[in-house]
Amino acid sequence: MQTHEELLEDIRDDTTGVNIIPDKDLPKFGEPLQNVTVPVGREAVLQCVVDNLQTYKIAWLRVDTQTILTIQNHVITKNHRMSITHAEKRAWILRIRDVKETDKGWYMCQINTDPMKSQVGYLDVVVPPDILDYPTSTDMVIREGSNVTLKCAATGSPTPTITWRREGGEPIPIPNGTEVMSYNGSFLTIAKVNRLNMGAYLCIASNGIPPTVSKRVMLIVHFPPMIWIQNQLVGAAIGQNITLECQSEAFPKSINYWMKNDTIIVPGERFIPETYENGYKITMRLTINEVEVHDFGSYRCVAKNSLGDTDGTIKLYHIPQTTTVTTLAPTVSTTIAPISQQKYHKGPDFTNYHNNIDHNTPLQHDANSLTLDNEVMHNDAGAATTTATDATITALATSSLITFIMSNVSLKHFLLILLRVSFPAVV
């Protein structure tokens, strides 16, 4: 097996005696050797085009290591991923399968003329980004009010850029006091962390070579329980169903329960405690069915975790029931004031008037139409007093009728109405 130096010497020896050929007849490169960019894992193809090769030989070399890869149609290197093909009698094609990042560098196509002719091309192997497990941050637990720095490291070619985003799309606080939707940089520092900063952060690495990759880092913020009560005074009537409600926040998750008179309320048919969780927020509800007298008083909603405990108080007070009473109007006596009763006679004039009257003509409300007797019968006060009995109308109806008539009918018309009622045969 020839050594590398012996192979180079053979190439040089092959040039002996051929330098008498005029330069115009010597081999020459038909086109420049192109630079090639290939994603890692793909196949790289380097093509060297030579015209008028004659009996000269072509060799491929790795420039940085001065390693001979091929001579003519023979592969010299022990790298089984490399092969050589000769196409169209002028193209010498070097193929590298399953390209690795270590294959990146300068490659030379050489003709063994004297002096030697060569040209070089660059093989660039691009590598998609890959996030390193170290020193990239893992899930972090921090106490509320502290400072925290999230780290992200990635490899790739070209060098990846790092972008931070929140998984839920929430803004990211940055040291200058503002908030941004995304932040570029390997280190993300959050000062005075609060519970609103808790959640998943995405470290995204990209360099233009697909695929873009990301890693999820959970930021967990610990804080003691806090309680909010919207209605601290709640009223209820006896027998009513009522619900008391508290809002609490805590992380780690808190233990929540209700108390009355320093006694924990045990769930039952009448007392039903419930909790509804949404992240670190919890809604506490206590439903009391058919409130009784001894249920009134102060109730406490309590929240506890490893960092502390707190409670809130709701006072349940009694609302008296209102009773609607319907009262019927009583039967009353109505006294009619004394009036003068007049006696009517059918004299000749009145008879003629009655006989000549056109009954199809509306009654004329005129006092001269009647002949009144000058004899006036006066009743004493006792005779003029009439008591309304149950057989007559009720006091309410009588009062309403009299009020209506007196308000809408003149005295003269009212007397005519009485006359019609008392003497229908006359009028």
Tell me how far apart the alpha carbons of residues 349 and 356 are, in angstroms, rounded to a whole number. 10
Print pLDDT tens along the chain (427 aa): 555 556 555 554 554 444 456 677 799 999 999 999 999 999 999 999 999 999 999 999 999 999 999 999 999 999 999 999 998 889 999 999 999 999 999 999 999 999 999 999 999 999 999 999 999 999 999 999 999 999 999 999 999 999 999 999 999 999 888 999 999 999 999 999 999 999 999 999 999 999 999 999 999 999 999 999 999 999 999 999 999 999 999 999 999 999 999 999 999 999 999 999 999 999 999 999 999 999 999 999 999 999 999 999 999 999 998 765 555 555 444 444 444 443 333 344 433 333 443 444 333 334 333 333 333 333 333 333 333 334 333 444 445 455 555 555 556 566 666 666 555 555 4
Tell me how far apart the alpha carbons of residues 362 and 142 are, in angstroms, rounded to a whole number. 103
3-state helix, strand, coil in the chain (%, to 5): 15, 45, 45
Per-residue pLDDT reduced to its tens digit, 223-235: 999 999 999 999 9
Sign of CA dihedral 327, 328, 332, 337: positive
Q: How far is CA 162 from CA 156, 200, 203, 215, in A?
A: 12, 16, 7, 11
Give 89-107 as a DSSP string.
TTEEEEEESS--GGG-EEE
CA dihedral 167, 170, 176, 182 (to 10 degrees): 50
419 SS3 class: helix
DSSP for residue 168: T
Tell me how far apart the alpha carbons of residues 102 and 155 are, in angstroms, rounded to a whole number. 14
Tell me how far apart the alpha carbons of residues 266 and 256 are, in angstroms, rounded to a whole number. 12
Amino acid found at 422: S
| Dihedral pair phi/psi, residue 396, rounded to 5° | -70, -40
Per-residue pLDDT reduced to its tens digit, 161-220: 999 999 999 999 998 889 999 999 999 999 999 999 999 999 999 999 999 999 999 999
Sign of CA dihedral 151, 155, 161, 165: negative
Say if residues 314 and 228 touch (Cβ distance below 8 Å).
no
Burial class for 186, CB neighbours closer than 10 Å (0-12, 13-18, 19+): middle
Q: Domains of the chain (ranges plus CATH)?
A: 23-126 (2.60.40.10), 132-222 (2.60.40.10), 230-318 (2.60.40.10)
18 SS3 class: coil
Token representation of residue 389: 């009995």
Residue 253's nearest CA partner among 228, 231, 222 is 222
Per-residue pLDDT reduced to its tens digit, 8-50: 555 545 544 444 566 777 999 999 999 999 999 999 999 999 9
